């Protein structure tokens, strides 16, 4: 019954590794997002997809690559992880871009 789900919930890895986070929503929404929440709790949008099409890319390093195989899934792949990538990453979805966004539980990434 989970509306927006993310896996994994925790991710601990070494600098330089490549990792992926998966997101799925069963709300039938057209738009999905990735956010990064830093240690000060500031939430910043990274990417937004609408019907599998990238519509927002907020000056994120190109080591981050989102992929949307269908409108219910939006995955985030991160290459060459750096210490500064340590954060909580949230996936979200909404019916329309300006409407209420529903968030996944977050993925806590720690880069050592």
Residues that bind another protein (CB under 8 A): 33, 40-45, 48, 55-56, 88, 90, 92, 96-103, 105-106, 108
- Cβ 97 to another protein shortest distance, Å: 4
Burial class of residue 23 (count of CB atoms within 10 Å of its CB; 0-12, 13-18, 19+): buried
- Cβ 37 to another protein shortest distance, Å: 9
- Cβ 56 to another protein shortest distance, Å: 6
In the complex with another protein, the residue whose CB is nearer, 22 or 108, is 108
In the complex with another protein, the residue whose CB is nearer, 20 or 100, is 100
45 contacts 98 by C-beta, under 8 angstroms: no
């Amino acid at each position: 019954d989970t509306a927006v789900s993310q896996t994994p919930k925790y991710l601990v890895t070494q600098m330089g590794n490549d990792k992926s986070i998966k997101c799925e929503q069963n709300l039938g929404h057209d738009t999905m997002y990735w956010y990064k929440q830093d240690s000060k709790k500031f939430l910043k949008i990274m990417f937004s997809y609408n019907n599998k099409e990238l519509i927002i890319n907020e000056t994120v390093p190109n080591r981050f690559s989102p992929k949307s195989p269908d409108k219910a899934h939006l995955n985030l792949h991160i290459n060459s992880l750096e210490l500064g990538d340590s954060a909580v990453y949230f996936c979200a979805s909404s019916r329309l871009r300006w409407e209420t966004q529903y968030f996944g539980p977050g993925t806590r990434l720690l880069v050592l």
